[in-house]
Structure 1
């Protein structure tokens, strides 16, 4: 079973994220409502809502689930990416969730679900259109987005959880560089013991692999990866499964035209033209379902 040094990994990831975002400023074209709370877990249950300045009516709404291996990340690291999405005519929700190893599975799913329930009750106050919801996620957030979209589209799968799934449906999802097929070839905690626990409850094991619970009601999906994404090999097989269920799924392998390496979660880099292309094409896909 894989062991990782979480403090060291967090430090290394934070260094890379800081380098990526240094010098960026928040756009003046966006209204940002910050530090709202959707649950009882302090800063880990806070979120921001963004929409274009001058917005007076509810807009199609994107909820973003950040990545970070289930143990790292927060909304601050995603604010430039999600503010860009908002600048293109959407309301965007950018939220924190509880992280491993202090909080293990299914804490991030419970938090995502609590956020959705908050949006159903209060969203209109912040121009959230819960009838036109979209979901994006990358890396671990891509896995969470895939799993939560499966929960909202398969009542049988939802019944395997200890919490009631919010009454939401997604018009489409954007799955970027995600960690799919957990449990396909072995115990689900073999790569993520800090997330699932060293001892695996039988109920949890029965909830994986997520892909075995995907149905024809799964939302249309825009699935992306990159030439040097370490999770590249699981992206296209997910698209294949979705298509086999009759779900509209686009698969995109992005690359730099000069052959330079293009890595994991490249779309978060607001200076990267290929990342911008990916984000624009994701939004174009979403607009097909408005």
Structure 2
């Protein structure tokens, strides 16, 4: 079973993220409602809502699930990316969730679900349109977005959980550089023991691989990866499974035109023209389902 040094990994990932975002400023074209609370778990249940300045009516709404290997990340690291999405005519929800190893599976899914229930009750006060919801996620967040979309589209799968899945439906989902097919060939805690724990309950084992529960009701999916993404090999197989159910699934392997390496979660870099292209094409895909 793989072991990782989580403190060291967090430090290294933070250094990379700070370098990526150095010098960026929040746009003055966005209204940002910050530090809202959707659940009982303190800072890990804080979230922000963004929408264009001058908004007076509910807009199509994107909920973003951040990445970070299930043990790292927060909404602050995603604010420039999600504010860009908001600048294109959407309300965007950017939230924290409980992280491993302090919190094990399914804590992030439970938190995502708690957030959805909050939005159903309070969203209209912040120009959230729960009838026109989209979901995006990358890396671990891509896996969570895939899994939560499966929960909301397959009642039999939802019945395997200890929580009641919110009554939401996603018009489409954007899955970027995600960690799919957990449990397809190895025990689900093979690569993520800090997330699933050293032992797996029978109930949890039944919930994987997620892909076996994807149905024709799964939302249309825009699936992206990059030439040097260490998870690039699982993107197209996921797209093929979704297509096999009769659901639209666009798969894109992005590359730098000069052949320079293009890495994991490249779309978060607001200075990267290929990342910008990816985000623009994701939103174009979403608009097809409004």
Question: What TM-score does the superposition give when structure 1 sets the normalisation length?
Answer: 1.00
2:267 aligned partner? 267
2:145 aligned partner? 145
Correspondence 1:1-290 to 2 at 5 A? 1-290=1-290
Q: Which runs of 5+ in 1 are unaligned?
A: none
Paired with 1:269 and 1:190, the residues of 2 have a C-alpha distance of 30
The superposition leaves residues 181-200 of structure 1 with CA deviations (integer Å, 9 ceiling, x where unpaired) of 00000100000000000011
SS at match of 2:18: helix
SS at match of 1:211: helix
Q: Which runs of 5+ in 2 are unaligned?
A: none
SS at match of 2:15: helix
SS at match of 2:78: helix
Paired with 1:247 and 1:175, the residues of 2 have a C-alpha distance of 15
**Any runs of at least 4 consecutive aligned residues in structure 1 with deviations exceeding 4 A, and if so which?**
none
Report the Cα offset of residue 164 of structure 1: 0.1
The superposition leaves residues 31-67 of structure 1 with CA deviations (integer Å, 9 ceiling, x where unpaired) of 0000000000000000000000000000000000000
Paired with 2:196 and 2:225, the residues of 1 have a C-alpha distance of 25
Paired with 1:224 and 1:3, the residues of 2 have a C-alpha distance of 28
SS at match of 2:36: strand
Report the Cα offset of residue 121 of structure 1: 0.1
Tell me the matched-pair count: 290
Paired with 1:39 and 1:208, the residues of 2 have a C-alpha distance of 26
Report the Cα offset of residue 171 of structure 1: 0.1
